Structure 1
Amino acid sequence: MTAVELPFFVYGTLRPGQHNHDAFLHGRTAAEKPATLPGALLYDGPGYPYAVEDPGGGTVASEVVTAAPGEYRELLVVLDHLEEFIAPGHPRNLYERVAREVIGEDGTAVRAWVYVAAEGLARELRDRGRTIEGGDWAERAGR
């Protein structure tokens, strides 16, 4: 199955200035723009965050990244591997890759790939996780 070529909403270590951005995205993007993901909460994890869908509210603040020409397919494979996404609904997924509307800083809605916590992990985070106030991992206390 070939995925639709959507930009990626990155909210943790893939953000500009973070170590995975430098390792996986640097030089492979055409655009990186501020955006928000409505209907999600951000949870602190072991050195990286998890977005969990929350239809009742919450917003995650970050960037939407567009692959440079010719880079999309390889980036998709690399990011799926990094995020431990095997296939939709796979029981060993750490994250699910889902297409969601994100809102650019100019208010324009853009459809983008978002890696959200897989359902089992999302349930655990909702029960026992610690949310990141304000939904911005880079701005959380101590950063």
Structure 2
Amino acid sequence: MTSLPFFVYGTLRPGEVNHDLFLRGRTASEEPARLPDTALYDGPGYPYAVQRRGSAVVGELITAAPGAYGELLAALDHLEEYRGPGLPGNVYDRIACEAVRPDGTAVRAWVYVAAPPVARRLAESGTEIPTGDWRHRR
């Protein structure tokens, strides 16, 4: 498996509840980025990203500390209720996407997006966060 950085956009961002629980001591770098062609929806205490042209999500690129990648990947898969590609019961799917740094450079990164059944429900009746920024959801 390719060791990609992670693009985080909700409770894993610095200053949010899951950052310290899952990322403290496991990262080599954390830098601002955005995820183009993705919309952000408010969930019950956490957000969902859904791929959609014309929108963007604000977040951070997280690079695992040396030797911490496998442990971090497993912990994030567990947190995001991701069991494997396209498996029923996934709340999120982990996919590789192009995140963009403030200087415009693109970086391939793992992103947890709403699994298809969740994405369909959100498109029908979810609450979109128009700014694409979890921190400015209210």
| TM-score relative to the length of structure 1 | 0.95
Structure 1: segments with no counterpart, 5+ residues:
none
Structure with bigger strand share is 2
Q: In the alignment, residue 89 of structure 1 is paired with which amino acid? A: G
Deviation at 1:140, TM superposition (A): 2.0
Q: Secondary structure at the match of 1:39?
A: strand
Match of 2:9 in 1: 11
> Over aligned residues, Cα RMSD in angstroms?
0.6
Match of 1:92 in 2: 89
Q: 2:55 aligns with which of 54, 58, 70?
A: 58
Match of 2:69 in 1: 72
Aligned partners of 2:36 and 2:129: how far apart in 1?
A: 15
Match of 2:106 in 1: 109
**Runs of 4 or more off by more than 4 Å in structure 1?**
none
Match of 1:28 in 2: 26
| TM-score relative to the length of structure 2 | 0.98
Deviation at 1:68, TM superposition (A): 0.4
1:44-83 C-alpha deviation (Å, 9 max, x unpaired): 00000000011x2100001010000000000000000000
Tell me, yes or no, if the aligned pair for 2:36 and 2:56 is still in contact at 8 Å: yes
